[in-house]
Structure 1
Amino acid sequence: MPANSKYLNPAFWPRFSKITAAILGGYFVSVTFHLALASWFSRADVLITMAFSGFILWVALMVIAFLAKSGWKIWGIYILLTLLFYLFIYLGQTYNTAK
């Protein structure tokens, strides 16, 4: 049974933005989230845990990207989350090296 054509998006750019947001954006958010945790908590424990939880988070972010209506909106959200986690990384490294 073929898919209903009203749910298919034939345009290239919306499809491209969702695919790249799912793969690249989800990866950036997943990695920066775990690095932010590593800058505040035990680095070795977080990085070992990242081998499993990072993949699970990345897949969840991929699913969210494909469920979103707009690929550009999800790109914006993923970029904002990545920048927020970069801020936490910077603050964690600054605070923890000052001790």
Structure 2
Amino acid sequence: MPANKKYLTPSPWQRFAKISAAILGGLIVALMFHLALASWFNHVAVIITSTFTAFILWAILMVIAFLGKNGWKIWGIYLLISLVLFVIFYFGNQTNPLV
């Protein structure tokens, strides 16, 4: 049974934006989330549990990327979230250096 045409994205650029945001953007957000956690909490425990939770978070972010109407907005949201998580990671490393 073929997909209903009204639910398909007509623009190839929107399709590219959604696919790349789902794969790359979701991965970046998932990894930055776990890096931010590792900089504030026990990094060994976070790294061990991130082998499972990073994949689950990535899969959820992939689904969310395809639910949005505009792929470029999803990219913007993912980059903004990544930037916020990077700031948390940066200040966590300044406060709790691993030396």
Distance in 1 between the 2:55 and 2:6 partners? 32
Among all aligned residue pairs of Structure 1 and Structure 2, give the percentage whose two residues are the same amino acid.
Answer: 60
Unaligned segments of structure 2, at least 5 residues = none
Match of 2:65 in 1: 65
SS in 2 for 1:37: helix
TM-score by length of 2: 0.95
Match of 1:34 in 2: 34
Unaligned segments of structure 1, at least 5 residues = none
The alpha-carbon deviation at position 88 of structure 1 amounts to 0.5
The alpha-carbon deviation at position 10 of structure 1 amounts to 2.6
Distance in 1 between the 2:71 and 2:5 partners? 19
RMSD across aligned positions (CA)? 0.8
Distance in 2 between the 1:5 and 1:15 partners? 14
Match of 2:24 in 1: 24
2:13 is the alignment partner of 1:2: no
Match of 2:54 in 1: 54
Distance in 1 between the 2:16 and 2:49 partners? 31
Give the partner amino acid of 2:72. Answer: W
SS in 2 for 1:69: coil
Per-residue Cα deviation, 1:39-88 (whole angstroms, up to 9, x for no partner): 00000000000000000000000000001111000000000000001000
Distance in 2 between the 1:2 and 1:58 partners? 28
Distance in 2 between the 1:10 and 1:73 partners? 17
Q: How does 1:77-96 map to 2 (within 5 A)?
A: 77-96=77-96
